[in-house]
Amino acid sequence: MRRTIVVVGTLLLGASAAMAQQEIAVQQDNLMRAQAKSLYSVILKMTKGEIHYDQKAVDHALAELEADVGKIAKTFEVNPKQDVVDARYGSSPKVWQNKADFDSKIPPVQKAIADVKGKIHDLASLKAAYTTINDRCNDCHETYRLKLK
């Protein structure tokens, strides 16, 4: 009886550890998706004319993006050692082998945002801002993001 309890207890612990790891992977993915919402679903769509230019929405998206980018280093502190179930992208193991280099890709995104903040007033300046910021996102993705499917 006692042995059964120990075995079940160990199994439960194992299951909750796996769940915790999946939760970490989901949190990391959700942060990236939140950034994509600001940069792609708002800013990129506006540059393409898919939604109307809206100064308030631009300023709001940039503020959200700035806040989210500030969370990357901490959110990616722990290696979940698994991908989000059914995800299109995953993290390379290199993130945690070279965490300092991974983290060094964050300030350039923050600088790109700071540089355009308050200077976007029309479609032309929005387009330029989009490219400036997105290039810096990709500098990290090139090395640290894996396409899973």
Residues at the contact surface with ligand HEC, assessed by CB under 6 A = 28-29, 32-33, 35-36, 39, 65, 69, 72, 87-91, 95, 102, 105-106, 109, 133, 137, 140-141, 144-145
Between 53 and 79, name the residue whose CB sits nearer to ligand HEC. Answer: 79
Q: How many CA atoms lie within 13 A of 73 on its CB side?
A: 11
Q: How far apart are CA 72 and CA 113, in angstroms?
A: 15
Residue 35 buriedness (CB in 10 A; 0-12 / 13-18 / 19+)? buried
Closest CB 115 distance from ligand HEC, rounded Å: 14
CB of 7 to ligand HEC, least distance (A): 34
Residue 113 Cβ, how far from ligand HEC at the closest point, in Å? Answer: 8
Q: How far apart are CA 11 and CA 9, in angstroms?
A: 5
Structure tokens at 34: 């939140």
Closest to ligand HEC by CB, 4 or 111: 111
Nearer to ligand HEC, 51 or 87 (CB): 87
